[in-house]
Homo-oligomer: A and B are copies of this chain.
Amino acid sequence: MLRVSRLTDYATVVMTVIATHPADVLSTAQIADEARLELPTVSKLLKLLGHAGLVESFRGVNGGYRLARPAEAISLADIVEALEGPIGLTECSIAQGHCDRHAQCGVSGSWQSVSGAIDGVLRGMTLAQMLAGRPAAPAKGAANPAQANA
């Protein structure tokens, strides 16, 4: 269904929880509690988000996590990429040359085009906007914004 994985969905929740406490370092347990998610799952997510440079970690007693950048500077695309790798609808969209049918398939260009547009949509939605609840037009940079759903 053209889904993002459930972990990615959870990751956005985790990020918004962290973002609502901009001044604090939150432990995994606190975050899991506020996000209503299992602790091991949240722990795994935070590791991934840390590797992607979206959160900063602090070890030891009173350690925990904090946003690495202001919420305005973190996009949904950043989060999706942290969990799922580079954004692209098809294999061709990410790396050419893998497909031996590439020469005659003819659709790769179209897929790349829409992948780019979708990347723009995701990049236009910031964590700050997600916090705000009802964001304005999410599709900046994409040529076909469409209506903001129902």
Within A135-150, the residues touching B (CB, 8 Å) are 135-136, 138-150
Q: Enumerate the 10 nearest inter-chain pairs by beta-carbon distance, A residue then B residue, closest first.
A: A120-B146, A116-B149, A117-B146, A106-B134, A117-B139, A124-B144, A144-B145, A113-B144, A110-B130, A109-B133
Partner of A94, one of B1, B92, B142, B146: B1
Cα A108 to Cα B133 in complex, Å, equals 9
Copies assembled:
2
A121, A134, A139, A141 interface centre (most CB from chain B within 10 Å): A121
Q: With an 8 A cutoff between CB atoms, is A23 at the interface? A: no
Q: With an 8 A cutoff between CB atoms, is A39 at the interface? A: no
Chain B residues, Cβ within 8 Å of A104: 36, 135
Partner of A2, one of B36, B84, B112, B133: B84
Kindly list 18 other residue pairs between chains A and B, CB separation below 8 angstroms, not including A114-B145, A142-B146: A1-B84, A1-B85, A1-B86, A2-B80, A3-B90, A4-B90, A13-B106, A103-B135, A109-B135, A110-B125, A112-B149, A113-B135, A114-B139, A117-B121, A120-B150, A141-B146, A143-B144, A144-B145
